[in-house]
Amino acid sequence: MMMDSRGSGVLLHITSLPGPDGIGDLGKGARLFVDFLAAAGQRYWQLLPIGPGSRIFDSSPYMSLSAFAGNPLFIDLDQLAVDGLLVEDDFVERPEASEYEVHFDEVIPFKNELLRRAYENFQKREPDDDFAVFCRSEADWLDDYCLFMAIRNDQRQAAWCSWPIELAQRDAEAISETRLRLADEIGYYEFVQYYFARQFSALRDYAAARNVYLIGDIPIYVSFDSADVWAHRHCFRIDSKTLQPTHVAGVPPDYFSATGQRWGNPLYCWQDGRGRDNAALFDWWRARLRRIFATVDVVRIDHFRGFEAFWEIPADEETAIKGRWVKGPGKAFFDAVSDDIGELPIIAEDLGVITPEVEALRVELGFPGMKVLQFAFDSDAANLYLPHNYQDTNCVVYTGTHDNDTSLGWYFDPEVSEDAKKRVRRYVNSNGDAIHWDFLRLAFGSVARTAIIPMQDVLGFGTDCRMNTPGTCDGNWRWRCAEKFMTDYLAARLRAETKFYGRCC
């Protein structure tokens, strides 16, 4: 069973890897990082969601165009050259990229252009049997996704609800005609997904051979402008006439926000018109989890509490204030899924205000929850995120997540109270000069079975290296880890701490 003994790992998204094209990919930089993890005695590499992003949402991995597809920006172009699909001249206009930050406006057109050239060369070859097998075996999601992307491109990136009505409504005759008209474009998206899958599988095998296992991440909700909502509209709260969500997701007002959070994702139709479980939605979720577990070894589900109860906001409300709690599918959903696909190695994101019912569901399912050390020092000794209050080893402790500042940034943030900083110094018996290592040792020394440290905290980097600031729409998801930072010294130091606290693989 995965995560059944003490272990640790590092959180670093693929975009943050070193590489020659201005963004991390599945090539040399990914293998270098796996080698670093193995040398450092780490068992896990945690990723953010790996689906194709949208510039409308600042390339956020949590607002993907598909819950099934892979991000084409992650494809290693050098490997395509090794495979004979690109030549040296194709790289003449390779942009001079930053080692430290992703510039999506430069990366996206360059990589897309070379992927198009690779596809043209692929078409000139003899038919690829493996490609044909991939297209058949993944047809349940691949056909709709590739058609969705082809139409979206044909419609100049317009959201599906703005397409000609016969396409938005998926009229059978219009869909059939469009498949023929856009056959070549559909083939391009099939090609991209095929090579993404090949390269990701090779990376997973490379990691497993070094006893490093991948932790993936999926948001509970999907983007409205996605292949999933377009192709499976009956699974979502969508008005059949306006094609707009009737109700959207979010969380209610709390200590941090007087108006709550209105995320805008369409909610699921967990029940059909007769009050029974929505079989189509259960099937969609089974397929979604089968796909992610075929890709990674463990999955973190963001906003797990939505399976017990979710905040339903009328779509015409501008804030989350006038929402209400609605019961989710609960344990019956996970029982149905596990009956179909077997063991579910899931990490339940259970941060924030969590009710006893949510905690009871997580415990009954046996999923580890999350502890975040940056949340541990803003109150008193009863704070549930303090390690001495961990009642169960079945949890995953983080110094911080992709949504937090770095530990160093947190410590020097003037908005963090001096009392909190005094408490952390006393708790770790330190003057705070190396607070990131203090936090790391605190996580490693806890009873939590698994400890995950963001790479920024391993390196001791500040706020300028933060991955995401919730509530902001621009400038996130850009930090990169240069190859020069993955030193033998750092790996040895991390390994020594890992071994000392009984987490070495």
Contacting residues for 186 by C-beta, under 8 A, at least 6 apart: 146, 147, 150, 179
At residue 249, the pLDDT reads 97
Task: Give the pLDDT confidence of 111-144 residue by residue, as tens digits.
Answer: 999 999 999 999 999 989 999 999 999 999 999 9
At residue 91, the pLDDT reads 95
Q: Which helix (H) or strand (E) segment is 464 a member of?
A: none
SS3 sequence, 122-158? HHCCCCCHHHHHHHHHCHHHHHHHHHHHHHHHHCCCC
In angstroms, the CA 126 to CA 133 distance is: 15
Q: How many domains does the chain have?
A: 1
Q: Locate 11 and state its tokens.
A: 């959180």
Mean pLDDT for all residues in the chain: 96
Residue 169 lies in a domain: no
* Count of CA atoms in the C-beta half-sphere (13 A) of 192: 26
The CATH number of residue 40's host domain is 3.20.20.80
Report CA-CA distances (Å) from 256 to 261, 352, 354.
10, 10, 15
Residue 83 lies in a domain: no
Question: With contact defined as beta carbons under 8 Å apart, do 295 and 346 qualify?
Answer: no
**Ramachandran bin of 339, using left for φ above 0, alpha for ψ from -120 to 50, beta for the remaining angles:** alpha
Sheet holding 261-266, edge to edge: 261-266, 247-251, 309-314, 324-327
In angstroms, the CA 277 to CA 106 distance is: 46
Average pLDDT over residues 227-251: 97
At residue 505, the pLDDT reads 64
Average pLDDT over residues 248-256: 89
Which residues are known to be catalytic?
A: 302, 349, 403
Residue 159 lies in a domain: no
Residue 315: which domain range? 7-67+199-500
Q: Locate 505 and state its tokens.
A: 């693989």
Band the pLDDT of 1: cuts 50, 70, 90: low
In angstroms, the CA 305 to CA 308 distance is: 5
At residue 272, the pLDDT reads 79
Task: Give the pLDDT confidence of 266-320 residue by residue, as tens digits.
Answer: 999 998 777 788 999 999 999 999 999 999 999 999 999 999 999 999 999 999 9
Amino acid at 490: L
Average pLDDT over residues 233-245: 96
* Count of CA atoms in the C-beta half-sphere (13 A) of 245: 26
Q: Is the pLDDT assigned to residue 25 strictly greater than 80?
A: yes
Band the pLDDT of 353: cuts 50, 70, 90: confident
Task: Give the pLDDT confidence of 160-169 residue by residue, as tens digits.
Answer: 999 999 999 9
Band the pLDDT of 440: cuts 50, 70, 90: very high
At residue 3, the pLDDT reads 87
Residue 13 lies in a domain: yes
Residue 494 lies in a domain: yes
Q: Which residue, chain included where needed, has tokens 């996704």?
A: 145
Determine what percent of the chain is predicted with pLDDT higher than 70. 100
Residue 245 lies in a domain: yes
Average pLDDT over residues 463-487: 95
Average pLDDT over residues 190-214: 98
Residue 72 lies in a domain: no
User: Given the DSSP bridges, would you call strands 7-11 and 44-46 parallel, antiparallel or unpaired?
Assistant: parallel
Question: With contact defined as beta carbons under 8 Å apart, do 61 and 50 qualify?
Answer: yes
Band the pLDDT of 248: cuts 50, 70, 90: very high
Question: With contact defined as beta carbons under 8 Å apart, do 13 and 402 qualify?
Answer: yes
Q: In angstroms, how far is CA 26 from the centroid of its own chain?
A: 15
Question: With contact defined as beta carbons under 8 Å apart, do 454 and 401 qualify?
Answer: yes
DSSP type of residue 71 = P
Q: Is the pLDDT assigned to residue 449 strictly greater than 70?
A: yes
Residue 74 lies in a domain: no
At residue 317, the pLDDT reads 97
At residue 220, the pLDDT reads 97
Q: Please give the span between the terminal C-alpha atoms of the chain, in angstroms, as a whole number.
A: 15
Q: Is the pLDDT assigned to residue 350 strictly greater than 70?
A: yes
